[in-house]
């Protein structure tokens, strides 16, 4: 068994912007949430600037680059517009995600294997600019091998199907998905990729993922922002950290 790495928590603040945008005003402010997340022990902040700007705005990204003391993980689709924005800001990390306008959230992983050539050319300037390039993919050997071949340094394994199966009470699928995530985390790590995971994680689903020894970072947003309505953002994050550390130990 590999020695576990310390596990980082990236807090995704997109849905603070979703609530703000419901009224089109200035609050709640995602930058304020990011600073509270830092104080609560987040190792990084994650934000997804979508093509349709449905939550995070360009001004939010400008602001985050100015105020953060922890690294920004900039989630983006593989488009020329987003590449130009990333190259202007040069965040610590970029995570390339699939994006379809009609989806409610990022529903599946990126199809890297089918777009290998284009993606290799797409990420090269981002790597050259010093960004760590992560690719958001399903726990699928073909996709992991392709991510490795195109020169990504990191993969983020999509935990959405694992979490959905849990909330639907489909424990057979839940166990099967966990098994794939376990095997593919080890496979990717053996190829030399840094392994992250995220999407849909909650207090009920985080422990088995946090316990995977090859996983170095979890990115968690929607549940934490929802939970903060009831207990406040700082305690909501602190509890997630506690569960991650307990699982890791
Ligand atoms: N990781 C990636 C790559 C994502 O696209 C998202 C959602 O924006 C997350 C993690 C966080 O997912 P959630 O908001 O469901 O915790």
Query: Which is catalytic among the residues 15, 38, 55, 75?
Result: 75
Ligand 1: does its nearest atom lie under 6 Å from the Cβ of 134?
no
Question: Residue 188's pLDDT is what?
Answer: 98
Strand boundaries in the chain, DSSP class E: 8-12, 44-48, 72-76, 93-96, 132-137, 154-158, 194-198, 215-220
pLDDT digits (tens, 9 = 90+) for 99-128: 875 566 666 789 999 999 999 999 999 999
Q: Each residue's pLDDT tens digit in the chain (249 positions)?
A: 455 678 999 999 999 999 999 999 999 999 999 999 999 999 999 999 999 999 999 999 999 999 999 999 999 999 999 999 999 999 999 999 998 755 666 667 899 999 999 999 999 999 999 999 999 999 999 999 999 999 999 999 999 999 999 999 999 999 999 999 999 999 999 999 999 999 999 999 999 999 999 999 999 999 999 999 999 999 999 999 999 999 998
% of the chain residues with pLDDT over 70:
96
Within 8 A by CB and 6+ apart from 164, the residues are 200
The H or E element containing residue 38 is: helix 30-39
Question: How many A from CA of 97 to the centre of ligand 1?
Answer: 10
Question: Residue 145's pLDDT is what?
Answer: 97
| Burial per residue of 66-94, b for 16 or more beta-carbon CB atoms within 10 angstroms, e otherwise | eebebbbbbbbbbeeebbebbeebebebb
Question: Residue 221's pLDDT is what?
Answer: 98
Ligand 1: does its nearest atom lie under 6 Å from the Cβ of 12?
yes
**Is the CATH code 3.20.20.70 the one for domain 8-248?**
yes
- Residue located via tokens 């987003």: 82
Q: Which atom of ligand 1 is least distant from the CA of 14?
A: 8
Question: How many A from CA of 214 to the centre of ligand 1?
Answer: 19
| Separation CA 108–CA 94 (nearest Å) | 18
pLDDT digits (tens, 9 = 90+) for 114-171: 999 999 999 999 999 999 999 999 999 999 999 999 999 999 999 999 999 999 999 9
pTM: 0.96
Domain locations in the chain as residue ranges:
8-248
% of the chain residues with pLDDT over 90:
92
């Amino acid at each position: 068994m590999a020695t576990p790495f310390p596990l980082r928590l990236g807090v995704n603040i997109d849905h603070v912007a979703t609530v703000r945008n419901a009224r089109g005003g200035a609050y709640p402010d995602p930058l304020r949430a990011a600073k509270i997340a830092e104080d609560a022990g987040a190792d990084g902040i994650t934000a997804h600037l979508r093509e349709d700007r449905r939550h995070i705005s360009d001004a939010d990204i400008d602001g985050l680059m100015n105020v953060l003391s922890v690294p920004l993980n900039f989630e983006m689709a593989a488009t020329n517009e987003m590449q130009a924005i990333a190259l202007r800001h040069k965040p610590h990390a970029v995570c390339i995600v699939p994006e379809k306008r009609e989806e409610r959230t990022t529903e599946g992983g990126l199809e890297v294997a089918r777009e290998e050539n284009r993606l290799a050319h797409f990420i090269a300037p981002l790597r050259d600019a010093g960004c760590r390039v992560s690719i958001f993919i399903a726990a699928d050997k073909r996709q992991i091998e392709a991510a490795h071949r195109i020169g990504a340094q990191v993969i983020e394994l999509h935990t959405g199907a694992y979490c959905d199966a849990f909330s639907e009470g489909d424990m057979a699928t839940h166990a099967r998905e966990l098994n794939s995530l376990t095997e593919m985390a080890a496979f990717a790590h053996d190829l030399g990729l840094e392994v992250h995971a995220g999407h849909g994680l909650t207090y009920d689903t985080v422990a088995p993922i946090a316990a995977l020894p090859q996983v170095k970072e979890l990115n968690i947003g929607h549940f934490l922002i929802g939970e903060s309505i009831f207990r406040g953002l700082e305690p909501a994050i602190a509890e997630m950290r506690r569960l991650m550390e307990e699982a890791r130990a």
